[in-house]
Amino acid sequence: AQKVTQAQTEISVVEKEDVTLDCVYETRDTTYYLFWYKQPPSGELVFLIRRNSFDEQNEISGRYSWNFQKSTSSFNFTITASQVVDSAVYFCALSGPNTGGFKTIFGAGTRLFVKA
Amino acid sequence: DVKVTQSSRYLVKRTGEKVFLECVQDMDHENMFWYRQDPGLGLRLIYFSYDVKMKEKGDIPEGYSVSREKKERFSLILESASTNQTSMYLCASSLLLGQYEQFFGPGTRLTVL
């Protein structure tokens, strides 16, 4: 089965705390793609990162970092020194040949509250 | 700046009405998508289109139809709206199916009374 699990429904942190959003996926594909999207209160999903299954290098972009581990089928997202503007719903997603011909499967999302 | 636009941010309709949700993208993307977003369920694919006049059912197509007469425009149609179709509807487009990111519109929050 192709599946994305974001076990954390809601996380609440205080500004400047670090926070990690978990994403665990299931796939039988050897070639697949993983994504993270951010949905701020305005509603429009914004793309954050894409990873293909052959690239296990961790990625850092400013305060954001991603840890991709095929051994545990996880693609976790860490925000360092969180800010109020990071408050949003974050979605992890998967696509591959067996997600229905490269359709994208989204996790249920994690709502992050960052309090000032 | 790349853009996906949707015809309405908020829409209120009555049960049994025919509802049209319009989506336009300016990126010359082949692929366009309609999702429905409900709390706790994430995004669920209703229909997608990989070319003009081509469409494929997603995971929850029942009660919906789509139309793609021009490359830049993808319409979602609720033939006879029902209260269980009250939801947030998101349109997206992408260059290559599944291999590249999707660009999303701002969403239409539809309420069916």
Q: Spell B99-108 as b/e; 16+ CB within 10 A means b.
A: bbbbbbbbbb
Are B107 and A44 inside 8 Å of each other by CB? yes
Chain B partners within 8 Å of A103 (Cβ): 45, 48, 58, 97-98
Contact by Cβ (8 Å): A5, A24: yes
Are A103 and B101 inside 8 Å of each other by CB? no
Tens-place pLDDT, residues B19-50: 999 999 999 999 999 999 998 888 999 999 99
Tens-place pLDDT, residues A57-107: 888 899 999 999 999 999 999 999 999 999 999 999 999 887 777 789 999
Three-state SS sequence of chain B: CCCEEECCCEEEECCCCCEEEEEEECCCCCEEEEEEEECCCEEEEEEEEEECCEEEECCCCCCEEEEEEECCEEEEEECCCCHHHCEEEEEEEECCCCCCCEEECCCEEEEEC
- Sequence-distant (6+) residues with CB within 8 A of B79 are B18, B63, B64, B65
pLDDT at position B76? 98
| Dist CA B61 CA B45 (whole Å) | 8
User: What is the arithmetic mean of pLDDT over B94-105?
Assistant: 88
Chain A partners within 8 Å of B92 (Cβ): 45
Chain A partners within 8 Å of B103 (Cβ): 47
